[in-house]
Amino acid sequence: MRIALDYRPALRARTGVGSWAFHLARALAARGDVDLTLFSSSWKDRPHPDDLARLGGARVVDRRWPVRVLNFSWHRLEWPSIERLAGLDFDIAHSLHPLLMPARRAAQVVTIHDLDFLENPGRAEAEMRRDYPRLVREHAHRAAHVIAVSHYTARQIERHLDLPASRVSVCYPGGPEWMGLAGQPAHRSPEHILFVGTLERRKNIGTLLDAYAALVGRRPESPPLVLAGRARAEAAVWLEQIARRPLAGRVRYLGYVSEEERQRLFETAALFVFPSLEEGFGLPVVEAMAAGVPVIVSNRGALPEVVAEAGLVVEAEDADALSSAMERMLADAALQAAMVAQGLRRAAGFRWDETAVSVLAAYQRARERCT
């Protein structure tokens, strides 16, 4: 099977879709039974040599079309085809976002991570806000098959896009490379409460800060709160808040962190808190569970599905409930131990090699629909 995979999301800092792109490419390339081409295009960003060394079974086609220019041409003009750009023929053209990669003959597959841009367009970034809500329904119906990253997202696709369940496959992402699937986490010396993710409205940072302020008011000995992730424009108000009492000196903002630093942060976390208003999956939650860190998540999106019984689930916008859950987890050693054990077992179920198997099955269904 000749596969063209849109690798552009992995060119910059690998979070979210970029992580999905890299790890899916690596899992497919490792199989040896597919002809995988990674399509890269950017004016200034090139695939990192270290990453390419880990993708040994894949061919890379790297062009110098600016991302915005190519997206505009693909989304509005449906040109040029991936066959023309790559100079190759393909059986599958897989876009890792909801809009199609133009193709002459290849069966087209799209991945939908979530539909927050459709339900809450004001939270989306400019290009996504411009094109995705207007085009997503049409592109999903034109696709030979659609991949969803969770059952929650699959239900959203069926409801909002009127796509039958037979046209959608759920392909869970895998866990982090560094997780110890043998059973026990590495020795940890808990230093902080951790949040990892982009600082944006969808991540519900305001509620997290209010909950933490209430926690330290009741329990001054609580560990500091660490926020790791890129800050969008709306984060300015939260960055100002953490510079004032009672959060000054208690909350640290690190910005985007490397994969190595990300691992260290998880390994030294007392607990992980992820109160998002919407998540199609939530990879940082799996990372936390894999590191043996007890987790608290909101009751929104796919988070309850991902955590199952391996963490505490609270109402997303209830700061008091979130604060109480953090206090309970910090104070109850038996609860911590139970959540760590369940989290390790849960994380072990998310494997990129199994992701590749389910994605290949989706490709086969796409090919069958086009014959």
Q: What is the pLDDT along the chain (371 residues), one digit of tens a residue?
A: 999 999 999 987 677 899 999 999 999 999 989 999 999 999 988 888 888 888 888 999 999 999 889 999 999 899 999 999 999 999 999 999 999 999 999 999 999 999 999 988 877 776 777 889 999 999 999 999 999 999 999 999 999 999 999 999 999 999 987 765 444 555 567 899 999 999 999 999 999 999 999 999 999 999 999 999 999 999 999 999 999 999 999 999 999 998 889 999 999 999 999 999 999 999 999 999 999 999 999 999 999 999 999 999 999 999 999 999 999 999 999 999 999 999 999 999 999 999 999 999 999 999 999 98
CATH of the domain at 29: 3.40.50.2000
Same domain? For 24 and 147 the reply is: yes
Residue 36 maps to a domain: yes
Which phi and psi (to 5°) does residue 295 adopt?
-125, 150
Give me the pLDDT at residue 190, please: 85
Residue 183 maps to a domain: no
Q: Distance between CA atoms of 301 and 291, rounded to whole angstroms? A: 23
Q: How far is CA 200 from CA 54, 72, 196, 356, 368, in A?
A: 31, 25, 12, 30, 40
Handedness of CA 192, 216, 332, 207 (dihedral sign): negative
Same domain? For 281 and 165 the reply is: no
The total number of structural domains in the chain stands at 2
Same domain? For 161 and 257 the reply is: no
Same domain? For 120 and 207 the reply is: no
Same domain? For 361 and 315 the reply is: no
Same domain? For 148 and 203 the reply is: no
Same domain? For 229 and 136 the reply is: no
Question: Would you say 173 and 164 are in contact if contact means Cβ atoms under 8 Å apart?
Answer: no
Domain that holds residue 337: 192-347
Same domain? For 355 and 297 the reply is: no
Same domain? For 204 and 65 the reply is: no
Give me the pLDDT at residue 69, please: 93
Same domain? For 152 and 211 the reply is: no
Same domain? For 83 and 168 the reply is: yes
Residue 215 maps to a domain: yes
Same domain? For 11 and 127 the reply is: yes
Give me the pLDDT at residue 50, please: 84
